[in-house]
Structure 1
Amino acid sequence: MALVHGPDMEALRKRKTPDIHYREYFLWPHINIEDLSQPNILPLLLNSRSRNYPSEFSGADEAAFQLGRDFSVIVPIYLEGYTMIMNAPANIEDYGKLIPSSKYSQAFSWFCTSQQYSVGEGLLVLEIQERLLGFLVDCSKSILHDIPAEILISDTFPVQANPGPPSNGGLNSLSIMAAEAPYRVPANLDLARLESLLEARMSAAEDHLWALREDPNYFSENIFDEKEHQEEVIKDSNGETHPEIKPGCDSIFWVRVITGVLLAALINLEVFSELHRQARNLRDLQKKHEHEMEVGKDLPQEYLLALLQFRWYATQVTQGPVKKLSGEFPASPQLRKYHVRHPSEKNAEMKADIKLNDIESKLLGLLRTLWPDYYSSLIMGIAPLFLNELERLIGAEKPTSELISRHNAAIIGDINILTQCVDQVNMYLPWARTFDYELRKHETDVRKAYSDGIKRWGGIVAPFSGENLSKLTKLCNPSDRRFYYSIEGRRTKDNVEMLQKAEDNLAKLWGVVDQLIHDNCPNLHGTKIEQFLSQIHNVRRIPEWIDRKSDIIQKPEKEAPSTNEGSQYGPSSTIYIGVPAESADKLEHKKPTTKTKGVPNPTQPSTNGDTEEEGGDVIEASISLDPKSLRVFGIMLSDPAETSNPGEIAWKDLLHAMTATELFEVQKLTGSIWEFRRTDGPRKILLHKPHPRPKIPITIAKIFAARFQKMFGRTKETFVLKEKKV
């Protein structure tokens, strides 16, 4: 038995072309000492395999050695004229039965469509199951060593009711579920979960785009992050700087960086919106045809075509972030020292004389295995193996996580989400075995549906290319601190003027961008981008400076708290695609209101925990918190006019505070992505854990707070200190 987790990946890392001596590692990759020693894993395996027929695991057991087949370590034999029954046999005694094509005409069709197995594939699955079940029998005998083996299967010890799989102690994350999946009964396609995940990512993309429009500080951090990951910043072999980034010659470089940030934000919004729409449609079709779907029968044609289109779309759009990661990973500050450019060239390569330690070698080797042909890896189903190994490496080795920048961690997170979309469909067994065959039959329709969708928003590239770039040159260069926006300090007259100047510069840039999109993208009708640009949204602006010391107007003794204190509001843009002009005029004078909901309280007649006074005003129910949690919300919702430096927030303190409200359930999804879900409904938010330092600066905390307030409401005054029990 292998000693370490992922022995197939370990063998691949040590030898680029593993030989037959590693066959066992690729045939039983999940049977190893490290994994089986973890809590719950062996009980899960015993429970699943002892309570279900081997036929239910045939697809998963075949998928487990796919990596070995791709590298020719596992080579199934070929026996012409026969098919093996492994999938949903009509009679359990027929499991593993050979069917000659000469006597059963349907046998050849089963073989061609992969509804059943070739003889070589079937024998490999039976070999896996024979050894695995023998191992579990030996484990059971060892655990129950004080009971004679012949008595164990007698009536003296009758079969007990299934207690169900062991609990993971309340922990719930995609990484834990991925680690336990090989030891559980293969799961059905969870479209509700997939839809929910994509909805949250779509919402995050929209919030990101609004923050880029509204917050000069957030905008600056993103463009400087992007700049630090361009290969031009790597010095060449002579130690010289790339000519395009030298002072006075960097205007085009900055235009490319900033338009890259804006274009990526717009495309991500459209991509995840479209995937969410398709996932929702799949869930509706699954419910519509649930009574027609039976193992051993073909899927309804409408549902099958939608699955193929979803898989194709997710596979195609995954290539974007993979290409971006491959280009920007070498230039990241943490890995720049390992790479070099040739003079006057942009592309970098690994230094020939560099010596890597074991952790660096593992990380770079894993990533470089993914980049060359991620598309094929995704289709064949082995890409999730590499991503799971990457996530495990980052989580297990602190030095590894320190090599991943925050910028690259976010890209890896998106690749993980898109890969999971494809993997979910690929694991929709037993039907997934036929998807490649069905795709060849319906490829024209699938490709057309994809290209028609891309045509609607593919033109979004036009505003950021060609002669249009010259219109952005003077507005994009941040070297003159045009977007400098420090909100940490206490408000002063000079500080306010500086903030307002940065807001004006950002508004001018977006004004030109909006005009370019309006002029160059006539076919955005029906896209999420059009919906985003057309909606009425107020952008927060810093108000004019008022010298409070000289202000002779007295405030009333009691003033209602306001979530908008210290800010004025204006329209997000002067251009509204699809919005009547009068709507824009009305927006100039409209100030947004925040609708809030409280904690359910069974002692009150209100269903949402808030009470309503005679005039119709909603009074928020207060939330009592411990001092640590109260400090977190105090920082997130602090007023710059009152607090000069509220400090940072530890990530673990944010998790503690959010769960302490009893309004949220917190779940780690994948990579740096965490999900915050309302306990009283489906609403959720995705946040990236700060990386590599797990501290949230006030600038990012303000972005988090704005996203929570936008979706869930709540003001600083809502949170009060919990009274100590006597």
Structure 2
Amino acid sequence: MASYTYELIELGDDAHGLGCKCCRFIKGTDLPRPRKDLSESESRTLAVGFAGSVLKDWTKLNAIVKRFEGVLQKRWLKKGTKQRREILLRACPEMPPCLRPDFQGFRNGQKNLPRSRTCPSRAYLWPYINLEDLQQAYPMLLFINSRGRHLPQNFISTDIDNAHLGAGWEFKPPKCGTMIFHNQRTPKTRVDPGLGLLGLEIQAGIYSFLVQCVTLILHDVVPSQFFLAPHQPVPPPLIPKRGDWVTLQDQMLEAPYRLPQGLDLDRLKSMVSTRHAAATDHVWLLREDPSYFTETLIEWKEHDWREEVCTCLECWRDAAADMLTHAFDDFLFWHEIHRRFKLMPTLETQLARADLEQVRLQKKDELRWGELDELVNFIMIFPMANIRRGLPGSPRMRQCYPLSGKRDAKTLERWAMKRGRSEAERRVDTVFHAMIDCEQRALHQLTPLIQEAQYMLDTEPKAAELVDSWVLGQFADLSLLAELSDQMQRFKPWSDAWRICTVGGMVDKSIAKIMTLSQSLTEAIIHACKESETLYSPASKLWQYPADKRPSKANNSQMRHAESHLDLFWGELEENVMDYSGEDVTEILAVRGLRKRKLYRTPKWKDPILAPAAQVNQAPRFGLIELNPNVPKKRSAGEDHAGATKTPKTKTRGVASTPLDEEEVVTATPEPEQAAPSVTIKVKKRTHRVFSALLPEAGAENHHKIEVAWDDMLQAMADIGMMPEKLYGSVWNFRPTEECVVEGMTRGIQFHEPKEVRRGNKIGPHMVRVFGRRLQHAYGWTAGMFVCE
């Protein structure tokens, strides 16, 4: 018998009684649990049997791969989807059809059906063995290559982590202080014997399946040749053909089929750097751009959990306090994470001074990782809290929760969904609630839940329409923090030591300073917003910022007035924060990288420049009579009145029309003249059109109407060497590569895919202006820097 069991599985359908799919998902009743009555002799028998099966199948697979990997790749790539599907089903008749089959019962399984009919048992131990993934060209070949050319011990921890397990697998000593390993030191793997037995069983199933697959692909090869044929050169590494751009979702889906990757410190630093830059730009744009300030304020007001739809001044002040505290918390904590990663020594340096016998890093290195781990886990609270409060009150989901806008309602009461809601609404509710609930995260793990949410957003349009841009932003932050935590966990076996052995008090003292500053700023900003005399509703004329309208003297005056009012609000806010808490907001921003930035302000309007009338030299006209030599010529009227001046005739009735020659030419934007860029970069015509919109010249005609297609922007960034990478949610990361045509590029930048793009439209003029300003602040790019080839 296996080392796990499913309760009530043998009792039949009538006695199963596990409830509907949502209840089973929430309670985790489908998940595998360990046997409680497994004796020592049974455990030994199972371990020997599984280990023997693993070594036997791996030896055969290794021999086949060394001799026939090139043939396997060639044959598999030539086969169609139907042929691949037939081979997979012959090797595993019960193979689930969809991605992450451990969530399949929750997606579209019928209610009240027993788990034995809706959820195959193998789906929880081998969720990556499914038809949707393996019938593609490259995942199967990656799977065969990694498992056939590397020892099984390299995969044991990953195989256990990838299994979707239920409760009861946690290792708990029977008594505090009990000796577990007698007369031997702690093993390097630090794996509980129960989980180790499960890992052997999982690997036995994997290698047995792969041997069946390669045997079916090489159906015409005599079995004795698997060991007797000569070795062949190693074929070139496979490069999977994904979409046009790299996505984090694709990398996460390919991870179970590859050799487990260790900690990629450089990639972590790049991700943290771009997120820190995005947090910095967000705070600065709230300080600089009145339209960005009001749009962000409206988003936070729409997701306010305290009251139902209300537009009183007090509600706007509460929403402004939430918006500003969130912006400063993001700025402070991401700056702290970025600073700690910059100070982190290289992995080679840390491993060179590590204690290999005890499998421990040096104490100061363990403390660095422990502080980072604690800080990342602490910051996860913020996006989870925002989703918990904002999703039930979001405009697209508000109708599903009758108590979402009740101030006195508890969190669980706000998440109580009405009956009769659609399947998409219930799926969004269940997945997002599982991510923010402690018990659900313990059952299903945060990373698989994030992957399931992203899969839902990519494959189910009705569910994707229910999640707006504000919720997607919080989801993206939570996903990035989960990725950081998982990356640090991959630093095994060293990560087990700092997570278990690091003294909590030392870590708490190290990060207490930034937490104290965050709490002090939060209280002061809330007080300052309540006492503010310059904070009004976004509908007020004081906030109107017609940057997207045709330039005119009135619009220019209104823009300057809105910018002055924003400066007045920030000045009052900083003064109130200083009086309440003694914190200098300007100094906090300055010491964290914003000292050299300058606010962009609209210059004064200049009167339109009238173009001079064009001087047209008309050739003299001659009649036929003038060509007759017998007729005497007369002097022209111009010669008779050479010194006379023509008096213009003014029209006294109706509207006078302006002659075409005298039409005035008006500059599009009244910006000051810019100096020519010192460096020019030649780009393609399509790329030049994008950067001309993002970085317009002074006086660019009709720039207030320019829209940019999202695909054009991705291609333009790729053309100059900034490779796009799709992260979770709506976040795109642009990182410089070796082929970057702009010198001195050392860090990337993040942009959120605008909501207009997700509806099939282009980037609006407002977001084009925001993206352009962020590029100017980040890299110092100016208008005219990119020229057409």
TM-score (norm 1): 0.78
Amino acid at match of 1:458: Q
2:709 to 639, 650, 655: 650
CA distance in 1, matches of 2:398, 2:557: 38
Determine the structure 2 residue equivalent to 1:614.
none
Query: Is residue 459 of structure 1 aligned with residue 533 of structure 2?
Result: no
- SS of the residue corresponding to residue 155 of structure 2 reads helix
1:242-641 matches, within 5 Å, as 245-246=310-311, 250-284=312-346, 287-290=349-352, 292=354, 294=356, 297-341=359-403, 345=407, 347=409, 349=414, 353-373=418-438, 377=441, 382-439=445-502, 442-466=503-527, 468-522=528-582, 529=589, 531-532=591-592, 535-549=595-609, 566-567=670-671, 619-626=678-685, 628-638=686-696
Give the counterpart of 1:4 among 90, 98, 101.
Answer: 98
Aligned equivalents of 1:296, 1:286: Cα separation in 2:
18
- Aligned mates of 2:239, 2:703 — CA distance in 1: 50
1:339–1:77 CA distance, 2 compared to 1 (3 A): closer
Map of 1:708 onto structure 2: 775
**Mapped partners of 2:151, 2:693: distance in 1:** 55
How much has 1:486 moved relative to structure 2?
1.6
* 1:673 equivalenced with 2:731 (yes/no): yes
| 2:772 maps to 1:693 | no
Cα distance change, pair 496–343 in 1 and its aligned pair in 2 (3 A)? closer
**Could you report, residue by residue, the CA deviation over 1:210-266 in whole angstroms, capped at 9, with x for unpaired residues?**
1111111111111111111113564xxxxxx5xxx25xxx11111111122111111
Whether the 8 Å CA contact 1:476–1:509 is kept in 2: the answer is no
1:182 Cα shift?
1.1
Aligned-residue identity in percent: 24
**Aligned-pair CA distance for 1:168:** 4.0
Q: Which amino acid aligns with 2:446?
A: A
Q: Which amino acid aligns with 1:321?
A: P
Amino acid in the other structure paired with 1:684: G
Specify the SS of the correspondent of 1:656.
helix
Deviation at 1:669, TM superposition (A): 2.4
Moved more, 8-17 or 134-143: 8-17
The C-alpha deviation readout for 1:542-586, integer Å capped at 9, x for no partner, is: 12222224799xxxxxxxxxxx97347xxxxxxxxxxxxxxxxxx
Provide the C-alpha distance between the structure 2 equivalents of 1:281 and 1:538, rounded to a whole number of angstroms: 28
1:566-610 C-alpha deviation (Å, 9 max, x unpaired): 347xxxxxxxxxxxxxxxxxxxxxx9x99xxxxxxxxxxxxxxxx
Structure 2 counterpart of 1:443, which letter? G
CA RMSD of aligned residues (A): 3.5
Which has the greater radius of gyration? 2
How far apart in 1 are the matches of 2:598 and 2:532?
24
Task: Give the structure 2 partner of residue 118 of structure 1.
Answer: 192
* Cα distance in 2 between the residues matched to 1:460 and 1:46: 54
Query: Which residue in 1 is equivalent to 2:143?
Result: 45
Q: 1:446, 1:207 → 2: CA distance?
A: 29
Task: Determine if contact 1:59/1:429 at 8 Å carries over to the other structure.
Answer: no
Which residue pairs with 1:172 in the alignment? 246
How many angstroms does 1:291 deviate by? 5.7
Structure 1 residue 2, shift from structure 2 partner = 2.1
Deviates further, 288-297 or 36-45: 288-297
State the partner residue of 1:603: none
Deviations 1:604-644 (A, max 9, x none): xxxxxxxxxxxxx9633242322x43332333234577316
| CA gap 1:622/1:101 in 2 versus in 1, 3 angstroms | closer
Q: Distance in 2 between matches of 1:543 and 1:526?
A: 24
C-alpha displacement of 1:500:
1.3
Query: In 2, distance between residues paired with 1:58 and 1:343?
Result: 48
**8 Å Cα contact 1:60-1:186 kept in structure 2:** yes
Matching residue's letter, 2:277: S
Contact 2:298 2:538 in 1 (8 A): no
CA distance in 2 between partners of 1:493 and 1:276 (Å): 44
Amino acid corresponding to residue 701 of structure 2 in structure 1: E
Task: Map residues 64-103 of structure 1 onto 2, 5 A cutoff.
Answer: 64-65=162-163, 67-70=164-167
Change (3 A) 1:131 1:535: same
Q: Distance between the aligned counterparts of 2:235 and 2:358, measured in 1?
A: 26
Gaps of 5+ in 1: 82-99, 235-240, 553-563, 569-590, 595-616
CA 295–361 in structure 1, closer or farther in 2 if over 3 Å, else same? farther
Partner of 1:106: 184
> CA separation in 1, counterparts of 2:586 and 2:773?
28
Superposed CA offset, 1:115-145 (max 9, x none): 4333321111111111100111111111111
Q: Are the aligned partners of 1:630 and 1:719 in contact in 2 as well (CA < 8 Å)?
A: yes
- Give the alignment of 1:128-143 within 5 angstroms: 128-143=202-217
Give the equivalent residue in structure 2 for 1:95.
none
- What amino acid does structure 2 have at the position aligned with 1:693? R
Look up the equivalent residue of 2:314 and give its one-letter code: I
Task: Give yes or no for the alignment of 1:683 onto 2:747.
Answer: yes
Say if 1:222 and 1:640 are closer, same or farther in 2 by CA, change over 3 A. farther
Give 1:33's aligned residue.
131
Aligned-residue offset at 1:44: 0.9
Shift in Å at residue 715 of structure 1? 3.7
- Aligned counterparts of 1:636 and 1:326: Cα–Cα separation in 2: 36
Cα distance in 1 for partners of 2:405, 2:225 equals 78
Q: Which residue of 2 aligns with 1:664?
A: 722
Check the 8 A contact 1:231/1:346 in 2, yes or no: no
Amino acid in the other structure paired with 2:706: G
CA contact (8 A) 1:482 1:502 kept: yes
1:438, CA displacement in angstroms? 1.7
Which residue is equivalent to 1:91?
A: none
1:150 matched to 2:210? The reply is no
Answer whether contact 1:11 1:22 (CA < 8 A) is retained.
Answer: no
Aligned mates of 2:692, 2:419 — CA distance in 1 = 48
Aligned partner of 1:161 among 231, 234, 239: 234
Q: For 1:494-513, what per-residue CA distance to the aligned partner results, in whole angstroms no more than 9, with x for missing partners?
A: 11111111111111100111
